[in-house]
Amino acid sequence: MGMLYLVRHGQASFGAADYDQLSELGARQCRALGAWFAERGVQFEAVLRGALRRHAQSLAAFTEGHGALPDALVLPGLNEYEGEALVRALLPEIVDEVTTPQGYKRHFRTLREALAKWIAGELQPPGVPTHAEWVAGIVAALEHVRASHSGNVLVVSSGGTIGTALGHVLGAPVATTIELNMQMRNSAVSQLVYGPRGISLVSYNHLPHLDAPERAGWVTYT
């Protein structure tokens, strides 16, 4: 049996003109996670990541902390859903209001609603894959790991992608999958065991590298 480590990217640039850019704290989070694995002697047979900039930057910081890793296989199927497009399709003005705590809360309430409608096929912005198409890319990545590997595999992706992968493995309903997504913390690790018989969840949304009082302020969600 192999171990699959799903890592959410470090803190990006929520509220900025370009979200897809790791913050300085996000780089520190991922560097610390890489060091945590290195200190325990965990090596990886393979590395996969999404095609977004924050995925590449998170993996680069992880590598700084861990040391050399296998060349990453870049799979667009591991990319995040297009949250801004979904929110804008449901409530266009909300995208421009994420500058206050009230705007922040309203944004994520709207995102939950937009996700539910997109999943149900009731909301489909132009140019955005259907939910079924997006999920198919995630499932294909999981099946690639099962078919090609048998040891430790590192995957660097996003909260929605990882939450959906876990929901697929658990056979969870839509509402649960959305919650798995929304509770995902930056640089968190979710661990799966995989083999010929399938994939099972071992741990979810874990931050072992930040489990120290002096790093309490490093824990972020967006």
Q: Where are the domains of the chain?
A: 2-81+130-218, 82-127
pLDDT tens, residue by residue, 89-139: 998 876 556 667 787 788 889 999 999 999 999 999 999 999 999 999 999
Give the model's pLDDT for residue 100. Answer: 73
Q: Is residue 12 within 8 Å of 20, Cβ to Cβ? A: yes
3-state secondary structure of 21: coil
Which CATH topology does 2-81+130-218 take? Rossmann fold (3.40.50)
Q: What does DSSP say about strands 152-157 and 46-49: parallel, antiparallel, or unpaired?
A: parallel
| Helices and strands of the chain, counted as H and E runs | 7, 6
Using the structure block, give the residue that is written with the tokens 């493995």: 169
Give the model's pLDDT for residue 101. Answer: 76
pTM across the whole model: 0.94
